[in-house]
């Protein structure tokens, strides 16, 4: 049997995770199957509420909806901060690197079936302390992502209504809608919404691209921009944010029928997001010029911008709901793990889920009102969390799974160096990103926290 991480250098997408030693068709099937029941959901054969029912394409659609939504809206402004050529190189490079780190996470799940969240992976790495530290960062990151969607909702509503009312009111409306959409307890019920979310953002971006193409100003478009560290790294943070769906990957894998299908889901995600990011960001920047806004839909003409935001509302809501669902599931499982309560529909199970969802959405609304500038909030999220969940921790997973084999062959040496580089990238994004986002939030004078002012 081959080592499950022996061929980790393959960034391309294999037909399935057949490099894992588990073969469910072998004579040892009866010995191996119980390993897949070590996760938080256990044996669901007679369960009232079943979680492990996702097909690979449903998982892939959820990943696309969760990752693509806000990321694509920040990229044209990121290109304006870096210049066209450096930004395109970074988009492709970071996209491929994010594919590799996602693949490593898939192997980590197969090696340790009990992992259902980043906190579980932290426990594998560092015991109880690892679980608590990573778990705290994990839930905080997801709440910040939820808040970024609420912030985008207020921007959209202010644009559509010409600031028809106080921005705080729009934020509360967005929070209530998101809360209601979060009430289903299983991801399979969210998978159909993800298709609506993806279609919504595609149409909205196309409308924006067509409009800026017709306007055809293109002022200030440059291939290579002479920028400084502050503005350039702020743009890099926004690019990294576009690939930061990794925090939810373990939660999505946990509800797959077969966790080995995760590679196909990952391929669907990365094929869609790299292609869409390149096309949308380059076209919008080419025609909108250096005055492109973040979110990018605001770069269209006033009327078309309203139309585009109206079309994008489903993805603004649904993508936030998916991240919220993963956050609620972490808390819910943490409370009821090891009991049959997770599979019940009694008043305690339902009221617990509702209470957790309401509490976390209120926290998300508070954050969105406290940091009401879209690009600054994305930079802060990237620096604090996406740097580690997308890159740093994945590199650590590989080193952990290959402990004692780092120098065993030229291929292992190359992969060891690659994963140390991945960890270094995560550390650099965290350190420099905190400086960039902190300075941006400190210097911003466009709006005040908890203000009724128009943030469109």
Residues 411-445 have pLDDT tens digits of 999 999 999 999 999 999 898 888 887 887 777 65
Q: What is the pTM of this model?
A: 0.83
Using CA atoms, how far apart are residues 196 and 210, in angstroms rounded to an integer? 21
Q: What domains can you pick out in the chain, each with its CATH number?
A: 51-443 (1.10.4160.10)
| CA atoms of 176 and 198, how far apart (whole Å) | 22
Contacts of 211 (CB under 8 A, 6+ apart): 300, 301, 304, 305, 308
Cα–Cα distance for residue pair 297/309, rounded to 1 Å: 7
Strand partners, 54: 256
Here the tokens at position 233 are 């790294």
Q: Which residues contact 372 (CB under 8 A, 6 or more apart)?
A: 151, 154, 167, 447, 448, 449, 451, 455
CB 178 within 8 Å of CB 43: no
Question: 136-160, pLDDT tens digit by residue?
Answer: 999 988 988 898 889 889 988 988 9
Amino acid 110: pLDDT: 92
Question: How large is the average pLDDT for residues 337-363?
Answer: 88
Backbone angles phi, psi at 256, to 5 degrees: -75, 145
Count the residues in the chain: 456
Task: Provide the sign of the torsion angle of the four alpha carbons 346, 347, 353, 357, taken in this order.
Answer: positive
Q: According to DSSP H, which parts of 162-261 are helical?
A: 167-181, 188-215, 229-241, 249-254
In this predicted structure, the answer to whether residue 225 has a pLDDT above a threshold of 80 is no
d(CA 211, CA 329): 40
Helix (H, G, I), strand (E, B) or coil at 184: coil
Question: Of 301, 267, 237, 288, nearest to 438 (Cα)?
Answer: 237
Q: How high is the pLDDT of residue 442?
A: 74
Under a CB-based contact definition with an 8 Å cutoff, are residues 368 and 120 in contact?
Answer: no
* 120 HSE (CA, 13 A, CB side): 25
Q: How far apart are CA 207 and CA 196, in angstroms?
A: 17
Whether the CB-CB separation of 79 and 285 falls below 8 Å is answered with yes
Q: What average pLDDT does the chain have? A: 83
Model pLDDT for residues 27-43, shown as the tens digit of each residue: 333 333 344 446 677 77
Mean pLDDT of 115-140: 92
């Amino acid at each position: 049997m081959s080592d499950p991480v022996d061929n980790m250098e393959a960034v391309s997408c294999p037909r399935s995770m057949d490099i894992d030693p588990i073969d469910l068709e072998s004579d040892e099937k009866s010995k191996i199957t119980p390993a897949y029941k070590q996760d938080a959901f256990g044996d669901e054969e007679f369960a009232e509420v079943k979680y492990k029912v996702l097909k690979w394409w449903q998982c892939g659609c959820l990943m696309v909806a969760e990752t693509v939504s806000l990321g694509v809206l920040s990229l044209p402004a990121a290109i304006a901060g870096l210049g066209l050529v450096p930004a395109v190189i970074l988009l492709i490079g970071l996209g491929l690197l994010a594919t590799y780190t996602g693949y490593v996470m898939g192997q980590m799940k197969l090696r340790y079936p009990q992992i259902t969240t980043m906190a579980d992976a932290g426990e594998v790495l560092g015991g109880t302390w690892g679980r608590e530290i990573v778990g705290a960062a994990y839930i905080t990151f997801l709440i910040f992502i939820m808040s970024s969607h609420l912030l985008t909702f207020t921007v959209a509503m202010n644009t559509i209504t010409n600031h028809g009312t106080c921005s705080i009111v729009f934020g509360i409306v967005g929070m209530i809608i998101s809360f209601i959409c979060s009430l289903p307890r299983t991801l399979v019920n969210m998978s159909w919404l993800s298709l609506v979310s993806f279609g919504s953002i595609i149409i909205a971006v196309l409308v924006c691209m067509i409009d800026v193409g017709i306007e055809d100003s293109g002022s200030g478009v440059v291939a290579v921009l002479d920028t400084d560290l502050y503005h350039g790294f702020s743009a890099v943070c926004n690019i990294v944010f576009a690939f930061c769906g990794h925090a939810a990957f373990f939660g999505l894998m946990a509800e797959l029928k077969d966790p080995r299908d995760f590679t196909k889901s990952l391929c669907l995600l990365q094929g869609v997001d790299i292609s869409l990011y390149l096309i949308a960001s380059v076209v919008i920047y080419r025609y909108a010029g250096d005055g492109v806004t973040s979110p990018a839909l605001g770069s269209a003409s006033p009327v078309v911008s309203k139309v585009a935001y109206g079309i994008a509302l489903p993805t603004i809501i649904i993508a936030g709901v998916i991240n919220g669902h993963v956050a609620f599931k972490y808390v819910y499982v943490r409370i009821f793990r090891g009991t049959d309560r997770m599979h019940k529909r009694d008043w305690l199970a339902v009221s617990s889920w509702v209470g957790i969802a309401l509490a976390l959405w209120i926290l998300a609304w508070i954050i969105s009102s406290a940091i009401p500038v879209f690009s600054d909030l994305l930079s802060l999220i990237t620096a604090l969390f996406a740097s580690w969940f997308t890159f740093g921790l994945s590199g650590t997973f590989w080193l952990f799974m290959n402990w004692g084999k780092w120098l065993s062959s030229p291929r292992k040496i190359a992969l060891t160096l690659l994963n140390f580089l991945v960890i270094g990238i995560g550390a650099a994004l965290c350190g420099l990103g905190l400086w960039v986002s902190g300075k941006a939030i400190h210097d911003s004078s466009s709006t005040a926290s908890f203000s009724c002012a128009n943030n469109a």
